[in-house]
Amino acid sequence: MKGKGTRFERDLINQFWKRGFAAVRIAGSGVMPHPSPDIIAANGKRFLAIEVKMRSKLPLYLSEDELKQLQEFAEIFGAQAFVAFKIPRQDWKFFTLDLLIRTKKGYKIDGENYPFGLSIEEITSGTIQARL
């Protein structure tokens, strides 16, 4: 599963490069004493801090702490925070934190908010501002 995850993550990074973004995978994300996302991508105008998630199906549950750390990193760095979510046979979808549904212990993406996820075209072009 780790190998598969890495392959999908590399593919995501390649998609950013193809769209004129410099994208990198962060080392030791979740292990370091400081918060850090899985991927950072930027094109000189737009700076993105991305937490990467893959599941075989909906829903995806995210812990309060994980989201808090992503938000904290993004604020200090000067980036917009996204959860990138991949399920089989679907393109990556990107969720700003306010697109997530609150649960008792954290957040989730299920059938209700999944359709509102943004495409990579949207988050790498100017169209995101209009939708948010």
The nearer residue to a copy of itself, 1 or 104, going by C-beta atoms, is 1
Choose the stretch contacting a copy of itself; rule: CB under 8 A; options: 44-52, 53-61, 92-100, 122-130: 44-52
- 56 as an active site residue: the answer is no
Question: Tokens for 62?
Answer: 């995210």
Q: Does 50 bind a copy of itself (CB under 8 A)?
A: no
Answer for the pair 123, 82: CB distance below 8 angstroms, yes or no: yes
Confirm if 124 and 21 have CB atoms less than 8 A apart: yes
Short-list 118, 89, 125, 131, CA closest to 16: 125
With binding defined as CB under 8 A, does residue 24 bind a copy of itself?
A: yes
Name the β-bridge partners of 49.
Answer: 40, 81
Cα–Cα distance for residue pair 16/79, rounded to 1 Å: 15
- Give the per-residue contact string, 61-90, with a copy of itself (x = CB under 8 A; - = no): ------------x-xxxxx-----------
- Out of 1, 2, 4, 28, name the contact with a copy of itself by CB under 8 A: 28
Residues near a copy of itself (CB under 8 A) = 13-14, 17, 20-28, 32-37, 40, 42-45, 47, 73, 75-79
